[in-house]
Structure 1
Amino acid sequence: MSTKMIFINLPVEDLNRSKAFYEAVGWKVNADFTDENAACIVVDDNICLMLLTKTFFTTFSQRPIADTVAATAAAYALALASADEVDVLTDAAVAAGATEEHCPDKRAQEAEVGMHGRTFIDPDGHQWEPFYMAYQAA
């Protein structure tokens, strides 16, 4: 068992909408770390998202919150076990309200090294890049 975990803190406009979105893509809410200000979304045993209302998020930093609807603040790449898992996750995200971003040049570069990836933007503008890499081809 790994002793390291990552918690990605994401500011969200509507906490209930964001919880519903991430549940729709198959991730679980950890009720022990969820209240009216924040929700813990369990991606797997070592990765969690902390969805924070924008008001609560401002207590973590004096810097302004990035406008992720207008600009990309970060891209969250998530390695998955198969190309099918990439497609299932992305299709579920789009069905739950995400927007898929098509990047033909990036996809061509990925194909050259044996990768399959897609990109979706969640309802708060956070960019997700699930991918599968055939390591033997890399």
Structure 2
Amino acid sequence: MHRQIYVNLAVDDLSRSKAFFSHLGFEFEPRFTNDQGACMIVGENIYAMLLIKPFFQSFSHKPLCDASKSIEALMCLSCDSRAQVDRLVTKAVAAGGTATRQPQDYGFMYEHGFEDVDGHIWQLIHLDPDASGAAS
């Protein structure tokens, strides 16, 4: 069996967060989605669990940070092209998110990103293995 990764993110309003990510084209696994959380399918064996804050808090005794004011983690997703990176950022902004900064072009890597409606930062990258500077 292949390992799976589940990134758990605290959200204020589950319906709003699901609508935001649905607008970006993500789908949800209904078997692991209820009124306390939604299992967003990111890729094969990769999931983001969007959990309402009280439920998220039940997994730890540590206080939650406000992701709109403090950094907790950076989620980084690879994309098939620079155009796909730009398309997803455009969709995120249209759905109520914000672009984190201007796109960055490192030659071998193109990066741009957005903050979702709860303040979590999602970096989107396209790696060009044939470009100068790419690791071999």
TM normalised by structure 1 equals 0.90
Total equivalences in the alignment: 132
1:112 and 1:47 map into 2 onto residues whose CA distance is: 26
Residue identity opposite 1:123 in structure 2: V
Q: Secondary structure at the match of 2:54?
A: helix
What residue is the counterpart of 2:95 in the other structure? 96
1:127 aligns with 2:121: yes
Which AA in structure 2 matches 1:112?
A: Y
Give matches, 1:1-138, under 5 Å. 3-103=2-102, 107=104, 111-137=105-131, 138=134
Segments of 5+ residues of structure 1 without an aligned counterpart are none
Deviations 1:52-80 (A, max 9, x none): 00000011111111111112211111111
* 4+ runs deviating over 4 angstroms: none
The separation in 1 between residues aligned to 2:114 and 2:8, in whole angstroms, is 18
% identical equivalent positions: 39
Distance 1:34 1:97 in 2: 22
> Cα RMSD between the aligned structures?
1.4
Gaps of 5+ in 2: none
Offset at residue 119 of structure 1 (A):
1.5
Q: So what's the TM-score if we normalise by structure 2?
A: 0.91
